[in-house]
Amino acid sequence: MSSLAQEKKYKKIITALSIVIPLAVAALFGVNLKDLGFNVEPLTFLPPIYASINGLTAILLIAAILAIKNGNKKLHEQLNTTAIACSLAFLLMYIAYHMTSNSTTFGGEGAIKYIYYFILITHIILSVIVIPFVLTTYMRGKLGNFTQHKKIARITFPLWLYVAITGVIVYLMISPYYV
């Protein structure tokens, strides 16, 4: 099967995942297991862990760029694969936390409140937008379509890095208000 035919096949999977993941997160975000009668303890220990995973993702992405600039394709691929695994781990922990715990309201006032919500909203919107970019960039690299991989990676990298870094910032800003 040609690289183009393989890419066409994977694009269908990428499109499906790019729709299903945000819809599933949105649906599960609104589900509280206690409200459904389950006797579960709130997983209040998760936010600093998944914020740290976002920070690790940012470090991995920067290291991946440095690896490819130094000609180390294997390390570049390994770092990006690990960054994807970290993003998946973040997502699973984020869902688990919100299914067992009440959402925390930001308590800051004045200008900081607007800054927080700007960062939060851009983080959420870009975390949805970046999904097909990450998957397409990764797929093109795996298929050896390096010209197209490099072209889309120039968009994917800053988007994904922004999402990873702002995830940490959102956590740091809201952490004083956790109950």
- Packing angle between helix 146-174 and helix 73-100, nearest 10 degrees? 40
pLDDT digits (tens, 9 = 90+) for 156-170: 999 999 999 999 999
**How far apart are the C-alpha atoms of 70 and 120, rounded to whole Å?**
34
pTM of the model: 0.93
pLDDT digits (tens, 9 = 90+) for 70-122: 999 999 999 999 999 999 999 999 999 999 998 889 999 999 999 999 999 99
Among 114, 94, 121, 71, residue whose Cα is nearest residue 24? 94
